[in-house]
Amino acid sequence: MATPLHPAPASDADPPVLVAGGPFTAVELQAMEHDGVLRRLIADAYVPIQCGEAPELRARGLAAILAPRLVHRTVVGRLTAAWVYGCAGRPDTPVLLVDGSRRMSTLRATHRLLVHEVYFGPFDVVELAGVRVTSPLRTAVDLAIHSEEGVSVPVLRRMLAQPRLGLTVGLVARGLDALPRQPHLARARRVIARVAGAPAS
C-alpha cells in the first residue's frame, strides 16, 4: 500500500482540472488557454490560470489524462515524479512504472507514455491525490541511475533544496549503496558527487 505524503497547505480548494469532453471541447479549452483563462498543466489537462501549482494538483492532472486502469496499476516515476514534486519540467512523455510481477501487455494508455518494469521496496511509493508516485528518495535514486548527468544533476539539486521532500545528499548516497550491482551505479555515484559539490539551484 502506498504511503500518503504529507500534503502542503493548499491555497485553492481543489481547483478543477479540465479535459476535453466535460464540459468543454478540446477546441474550447485551447481557446481559453489562448485568452489567458486557463493554462495547460500537462498534455490535454488544463487548470484555471490563477491557481497555484502543488504536487497534489500535478498528480490530479496526470490522473485526468490517464486511463483509470493505468492510475490504479502503475506508479508515476523518474522525471515525471520529479515534475509532480515541482523539481523538473513538464514531461512530454510521462514515465510510469509497473511492478515486475504485473503483465505490462495488459496495460493500455490513451496518451503517449513510457512504461518500465521495476521492483519496489516497502517505502518506495507514496500517494498524492489518489495517484501513486515514487517516494522522493526512490525518485532521486532513480534519476541518479537512469538519467543523463546533464538532466539529473539540476533536478536533484532542486529536490534537495525542498525541505518538504526530506532529502539529503547522504540519504540519496545511502540509497544507492543499498542497491544491488547494476550497470549505471558508478555514474549515479558521480552524479551524487557533483550534486554534493555545488549549491542547489
Average pLDDT over residues 24-49: 95
Residue range 40-46: mean pLDDT, rounded: 93
Report yes or no on 75 lying in a domain.
yes
Q: Is residue 5 part of a domain?
A: no
Model confidence at 201: pLDDT above 90:
no
Q: What sign for the dihedral angle of Cα 109, 66, 101, 173?
A: positive
Place of cell 502543488: 54
Please report whether residue 129 resides in a domain: yes
Question: Are the C-beta atoms of 3 and 50 separated by less than 8 Å?
Answer: no
With 80 as the cut, is the pLDDT of residue 173 above it? Answer: yes
Is the pLDDT score of 153 beyond 60? Answer: yes
pLDDT > 90? residue 54: yes
- The pLDDT of residue 60 is above 80: yes
| Structural domains counted in the chain | 1
| Sign of the dihedral through C-alpha 194, 155, 164, 126 | negative
Report how far residue 178's alpha carbon sits from residue 201's, in angstroms, rounded to the nearest whole number: 27
Does 87 reside within a domain? Answer: yes
**What is the pLDDT averaged over residues 63-88?**
94
Do 86 and 162 meet the contact criterion of CB atoms below 8 Å apart? yes
66 CA to centre of own chain:
14
Q: Report yes or no on 29 lying in a domain.
A: no
The CA distance from 164 to 182, in Å, is: 30
Q: Is residue 150 part of a domain?
A: yes
Q: How does residue 32 score in pLDDT terms, banded at 50, 70 and 90?
A: very high
Domain of residue 132, residue span: 53-196
Pick the most confident of 6-20, 95-109, 136-150, 167-181: 136-150
Q: Does any domain span residue 167?
A: yes
Residue 145 sits at φ, ψ, to 5 deg, of: -85, -45
Torsion of CA 26, 112, 126, 9, to 10 degrees: -30
157: in domain:
yes
Confidence tier at 48 by pLDDT (50, 70, 90): very high
* Closest CA relative to residue 15, chosen from 53, 63, 43, 66: 53
97-145: per-residue pLDDT in tens?
998 866 555 555 445 788 888 999 999 999 999 999 999 999 999 999 9
Q: Is the pLDDT of residue 3 over 80?
A: no
